[in-house]
Amino acid sequence: MSKVLENHDVAGFAYGEASMFHVYFETDPDRLSGISHAGDVPTDDPARLKGMPAVLVGRYQQLLRHEGVDLMSGTGGALGSCHTVEDIQQAIAAFDRTVLALLDEGLVH
């Protein structure tokens, strides 16, 4: 997921431990203006990580569901032993199309 964000030059990052993952999209104009590479985006500030605009989170979830990928909540999900390599590849492809749609709609930068 991080590679997809990097490939599309989106100010965001994927993170998580074990089988749990989350995606963060930077939307703050002040922070966006200070980003020159992917290493500038990560934050561990809980208020930032949980404070993405509701319209962005809702649209992100909607687009992924339309692609057949349902998240736990917010922008996070989980992988399990029941997921095949094909399942993961399909989810990453859905994520890629979702990121492109969010870019087209101006919800991420």
* Fold classification of 2-104 (topology level): Aspartate Aminotransferase, domain 1 (3.90.1150)
In the predicted model, residues of the chain with pLDDT beneath 50 are: none
- Order of all β-strands in the sheet with 76-78: 12-15, 20-25, 76-78
In this prediction, residue 18 carries a pLDDT of: 87
Q: What is the pTM of this model?
A: 0.91
Summarised one tens digit per residue, pLDDT across range 59-68 is 999 999 999 9
In this prediction, residue 44 carries a pLDDT of: 86
In this prediction, residue 73 carries a pLDDT of: 81
Residue 38: phi, psi to the nearest 5? -55, -30
In this prediction, residue 9 carries a pLDDT of: 93
In this prediction, residue 30 carries a pLDDT of: 87
CA–CA distance from 77 to each of 12, 56, 65, 104 (Å)? 16, 16, 12, 24
The stretches of the chain forming alpha helices (DSSP H) are 2-7, 29-33, 46-49, 54-66, 85-104
In this prediction, residue 46 carries a pLDDT of: 87
